[in-house]
Structure formats: C-alpha cells, structure tokens
A and B are shown apart, each in its own frame.
Chain A
C-alpha cells in the first residue's frame, strides 16, 4: 500500500517559469509535511516544511500549499532557475519519527 503518491515523475520547465509538484497522502496521523531537494550523489536536504494548522508557507521562491481535507500538499517554485534542477521528494511524517518518502520528481530547468 503506497502511503504517499507524488506527481509528476518528471518535469521540464523553462528558466523563469513556475514548477509545481504535488503530493497526496493517506495517513491522517501525519502532522509534518516537508519537501526535500536532492542533487545527484548527495543526500537529501530539507527545503521547506509546513504543519497542518496553516494552508500556505512561503520562503523566498519556494511555497508550500496544504489542503488538509483533500490530504494533499504541493511545492511551488517561482522563477525557476537552472540551479533548481534536482530531484524533489515529499516526505510526510507523524510524531517526530520516520519520514515517508514519495518516489520523487526529477525537475529540469532549461536555460
């Protein structure tokens, strides 16, 4: 049973465009919703995270939108840059314990 479904699997965006990645989850016990960024050969790095008591959080060019009733959250990257080219993972968590990773979205930003 797949607890976390991430889409799309891959995404190609032009420089300056908006990248949108979606994550749907099943476990209502999740109470922390992070996005991680991973470059080839590196470990995942925490990008931005949200708690269910707010519907949106913005940090620079990165925004998380959260829809509790639909059990979905998304990552928006504004003004996408070639340096944003990486694999992005949603990884919701319940109770300060294990992260449950989606399968990842490979983002390519063309110059």
Chain B
C-alpha cells in the first residue's frame, strides 16, 4: 500500500531559527514529490516539486532534498518567520495517483 509518513507531527520553534521536516514514502511507481504549505482553512500552496533525478531544490527560504534510494525527503526552512506557521504536507505522485502525507504542523513563535 502506498504510504507517506511525515515527522514530526507538530513543531514549535522561535522566530529566526531553522527547522527541518521529514517525509518518508513507500510509493511505487514514483513520479515526483511535492511539498505544500497549507494555512488553516486555505488551499495547499506548492513550495517545491522534485522528480527522481533531483536531489535538492530551493524556493527562497525553503530547501527540499530528495533521496530516491532511501525514499526520504526533507524540507528545510531557514530563518523562520511568523508567517511560516502552517501545515506542511508532503505529496508523492506515482502511477497517476497522489498520496498525501499526514502533514507537520509548524508554529513559529516570538
């Protein structure tokens, strides 16, 4: 069964600090992996999308990595801001199907 597991489930950090979110997947076949940011009650917004051959991709203060051998991905947030408080969802695409992770709830505090 295709699964996407994210950790930690929730995270609280101070403004300005860095953090790393993890995503492990068992999706086959694999097409791409996406990270989304979802504010409460809003639609998910794409941060990065990576294919099998890509190891790292950055989008401003967000940097995603992908290890297709171990089927792991991480999302690193640098110099966090209060507006980074949201749910971060890892979505893996394969065989025309999308499998959603359970998300990591990030809260950035002063």
Determine if chain A interacts with chain B: no
| Chain B interfacial positions (CB closer than 8 Å to A) | none
| Chain A interfacial positions (CB closer than 8 Å to B) | none
